[in-house]
């Protein structure tokens, strides 16, 4: 965020790429684990996507696998809240979800980029039905408390005016030979043609009110039929107001590789993926197990735990090898017998705080009143954004939208509130976009990831320095132990990172187990 404030979105994307948060994936298909030695045992810690994938592929290859999971369910951070669910956070606050049947909120992952081919591969393999997730909606809203009198503006209006004025400035610079670098006559004509088409400029290369510009930003009086069907073009904002608003920053958000269309979501909630994975390995998973120690020697691994199915009774599990997918935020509090480099790596990675607010309203007023079907509205307020549901369009009755998605300082501030206070603050801030909030609100939930006892944060946040110093040690096999999870990838905070790290971990473990590495 600091990089973005100082140098803009391009610098943010370059920095994110270097930090491993905005790069394409290298999935090449299911791992080749042929030649496994019969009777070799593997203990998997954690039944999130990374753990369940490891269990699935290892068993398929012939290994004897057991999975230990802290929670009473599988899926890890891949989960969905529906009516009737409860969620208890650190400190004891318990939320009872009251959403109407069919409604839900995804507190963790909520969208899948088209190039996350590893996750998409296993969704198809396990029969998880997907549908489009609307990332960009030109009829959604952009808001800055200090611009346009604090009134939100349509994405399309800001986009069209910013493009138009920028194109006009470039065209005038070309015509006046004011560019810092000389251009040939051919380049000049190509650039002028490009700016005129991109910015909707008139024949004099000016961006002005016209039917032409209104075809992109919308008409004040839309096109109609009959004698009074002629439209009235809309009036662009002034160049000063557009440039000063800063709202153009959100236009580039959807240009980053991870945020480009097309995106997907599972039909019925993100936990359909977790459930799809769980169906493959349910018989291997023991839930309600709290790992307290991971020990190893030259012959195998011994994991000590407390069995909450038996009142916290102590127990042990032994195996030839161990794949540990426990988040580093939790693993750093567990005694792990490993080399100093891996231990240092486990301690070196902090976890991000994130808060998501799910708000249920009596009706889909954003569709019925404002013709907003899916997509995201952005604001400089702490809630950051509002995401409209990309499913069940035009249906009657209650619906849930994502009423806030906070990262960083704003997330810590919301995490310090009670769940009820989080919801009320999200309603207050969201009312700037939609005055219907007050009369249409039904109920809501506010999930603070830093207060989730099984993760203590949303996802790993590698710094460039930490990755350079510790990433290799974290991902290498240490004796008979290998780590996997989004933290062991260059795609942090995405489910794809969990998938790719798991494929890598079990492939290398397999090579070690059969004596090929």
pLDDT at residue 26, rounded to an integer: 79
Q: Pick the closest to residue 133 from 299, 259, 307 (CA basis).
A: 259
Distances (CA, A) of 326 to 57, 84, 281, 456, 493: 18, 28, 18, 11, 14
Which residues are 291's β-sheet partners? 305
| CB neighbour list of residue 124: distance below 8 Å, 6 or more residues apart | none
Q: In whole angstroms, what is the distance from residue 306 CA to residue 290 CA?
A: 5
Q: Residue 473's pLDDT is what?
A: 98
Does residue 411 surpass a pLDDT of 70?
Answer: yes
| Mean per-residue pLDDT, 30-48 | 96
| pLDDT one-digit tens code per residue, 346-384 | 999 999 999 999 999 999 999 999 999 999 999 999 999
Q: What are phi and psi of 406, to 5 degrees?
A: -110, 145
Task: Give the three-state DSSP class for 9.
Answer: helix
Strand partners, 487: none
Cα 12 to Cα 9, 17, 210, 351: the distances in Å are 5, 9, 35, 19
Please check whether residue 381 is in contact with residue 429, taking contact to mean a CB–CB distance below 8 angstroms: yes
Q: Report domain 27-71+271-348+463-513's class.
A: alpha beta
Q: Cα separation of 311 and 295, whole Å?
A: 23
Cβ–Cβ under 8 Å, residues 51 and 264: no
What is the per-residue pLDDT for 181?
77
Cα 164 from Cα 236, distance rounded (Å): 9
- The CA radius of gyration of the chain, in Å to the nearest whole number, is 26
Q: Which of 482, 441, 242 is nearest to 339 (CA)?
A: 482
The pLDDT of residue 25: 67
Q: Give residue 517's pLDDT.
A: 64
483 near 324, Cβ under 8 Å?
yes
- Residue 403: its H or E element: strand 399-407
- Pick the range with the lowest mean pLDDT from 123-127, 173-177, 216-220, 506-510: 173-177
DSSP secondary structure letter of residue 234: P
What is the percentage of the chain residues whose pLDDT exceeds 90? 91
H-assigned helices in 207-310: 211-217, 239-245, 271-281
Instruction: State how far the alpha carbon of 336 is from the alpha carbons of 99, 293, 313, 344, 488, in Å.
Output: 41, 6, 20, 11, 17
pLDDT band for position 18 (cuts 50, 70, 90): very low
Tell me the CA distances in angstroms from 4 to 220, 259, 409, 504, one per residue in order. 34, 16, 15, 33
| Euclidean distance between CA atoms 96 and 15, whole angstroms | 40
Instruction: Give me the DSSP letters along 338-355.
Output: --HHHHHHHHS--B--EE
Given this model, what pLDDT does residue 466 score?
97
Q: Once rounded to an integer, what is the mean pLDDT over residues 388-405?
A: 98
Q: pLDDT confidence of 92, banded at 50, 70, 90? A: very high
Q: Which of 190-194, 252-256, 380-384, 469-473 has the lowest mean pLDDT?
A: 252-256
Q: What is the mean pLDDT of the chain?
A: 94
Dig out the tokens for 294 from the structure.
Answer: 């991971």
Q: CB neighbours (10 Å) of residue 256?
A: 17
Nearest-angstrom CA–CA distance, 133 and 387 = 10
Pairing of strands 481-483, 321-324: parallel
Question: In 370-396, which positions are buried (b, 16+ CB within 10 angstroms) versus exposed (e)?
Answer: bebbbbbbbbbbbbbbbbbbbbeeeee
Mean pLDDT on 284-289: 98
Where are the CATH 3.90.660.10 domain residues in the chain? 81-139+261-269+352-451
183: confidence class by pLDDT, cuts 50, 70, 90: confident
Average pLDDT over residues 268-296: 98
Domain with CATH 1.20.1440.240 in the chain: 155-244
What b/e readout covers 427-448, taking b as 16+ CB neighbours within 10 angstroms? Answer: bebbebbbebbeebbbbbbbbb
Q: How far apart are CA 373 and CA 132, in angstroms?
A: 12
CA distance 202 to 32: 60
Domain 81-139+261-269+352-451's class?
alpha beta
Domain with CATH 3.50.50.60 in the chain: 27-71+271-348+463-513
pLDDT of residue 10: 42
As a whole number of angstroms, the distance between CA 219 and CA 515 comes to 70
Phi, psi of 212 (to 5 degrees): -65, -50
Residue 140 has pLDDT above 90, yes or no: yes
CA distance 462 to 492: 8
Q: Is the pLDDT of residue 35 over 70?
A: yes
Residue 13: pLDDT band (50, 70, 90) is very low
| Residue 235 clears pLDDT 80, i.e. is over it | yes
Fold adopted by 155-244: de novo design (two linked rop proteins) (1.20.1440)
pLDDT, tens digit (0-9, with 9 covering 90-100), for 240-279: 999 999 999 999 999 999 999 899 999 999 999 999 999 9
pLDDT at 290 over 60: yes
């Amino acid at each position: 965020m600091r990089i973005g404030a100082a140098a803009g979105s391009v610098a943010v994307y370059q920095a994110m790429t270097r930090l491993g948060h905005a790069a394409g994936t290298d999935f090449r298909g299911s791992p080749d684990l042929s030649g496994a030695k019969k009777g070799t045992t593997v203990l998997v810690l954690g039944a999130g996507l990374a753990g369940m994938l490891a269990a699935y592929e290892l068993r398929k290859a012939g290994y004897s696998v057991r999975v230990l999971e802290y929670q009473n369910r599988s899926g890890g951070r891949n989960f969905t809240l529906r009516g009737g669910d409860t969620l208890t956070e650190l400190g004891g606050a318990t939320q009872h979800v009251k959403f109407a049947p069919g409604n839900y909120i995804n507190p963790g992952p909520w969208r899948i980029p088209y190039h996350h081919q590893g996750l998409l591969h296993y969704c198809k393999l396990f029969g998880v039905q997907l549908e489009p997730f609307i990332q960009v909606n030109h009829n959604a809203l952009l808001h800055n408390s200090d611009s346009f009198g604090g009134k939100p503006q349509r994405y399309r209006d800001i986009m069209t005016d910013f493009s138009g004025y920028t194109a006009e400035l470039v065209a005038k610079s070309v015509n006046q030979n004011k560019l810092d670098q000389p251009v040939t006559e051919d380049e000049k004509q190509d650039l002028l043609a490009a700016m005129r088409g991109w910015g909707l400029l008139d024949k004099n290369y000016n961006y002005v009110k016209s039917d032409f510009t209104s075809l992109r930003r919308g008409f004040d009086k839309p096109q109609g039929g009959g004698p009074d069907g002629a439209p009235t073009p809309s009036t662009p904002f002034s160049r000063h107001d557009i440039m000063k608003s800063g709202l153009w920053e959100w236009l580039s958000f959807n240009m980053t590789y991870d945020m480009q269309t097309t995106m997907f979501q599972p039909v019925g909630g993100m936990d359909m993926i977790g459930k799809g994975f769980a169906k493959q390995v349910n018989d291997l998973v023991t839930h309600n197990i709290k790992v307290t120690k991971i020990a190893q020697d030259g012959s195998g691994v011994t994991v000590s735990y407390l069995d909450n199915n038996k009142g916290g009774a102590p127990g042990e599990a032994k195996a030839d090898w161990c794949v540990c997918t426990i988040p580093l935020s939790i693993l750093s509090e567990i005694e792990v017998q490993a080399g100093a480099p891996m231990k240092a790596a486990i301690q070196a990675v902090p976890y991000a705080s994130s808060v998501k607010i799910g708000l249920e309203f009596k009706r889909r007023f954003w569709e019925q009143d404002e013709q907003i079907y899916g997509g995201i509205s952005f604001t400089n307020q702490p809630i950051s954004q509002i995401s409209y549901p990309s499913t069940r369009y035009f249906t009657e009755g209650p619906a849930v939208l994502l009423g806030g998605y906070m990262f960083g300082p704003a997330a810590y501030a919301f995490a310090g509130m009670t769940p009820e206070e989080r919801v009320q603050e999200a309603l207050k801030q969201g009312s700037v976009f939609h005055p219907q909030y007050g009369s249409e609100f039904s109920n809501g939930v506010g999930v603070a990831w830093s207060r989730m006892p099984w993760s203590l944060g949303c996802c790993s946040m590698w710094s460039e320095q930490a990755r350079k110093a510790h990433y290799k040690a974290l991902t290498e096999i240490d004796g008979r132990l290998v780590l996997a999870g989004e933290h062991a990838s260059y795609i942090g905070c995405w489910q794809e990172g969990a998938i790719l790290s798991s494929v890598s971990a079990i492939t290398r473990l397999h090579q070690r187990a059969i004596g090929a590495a």
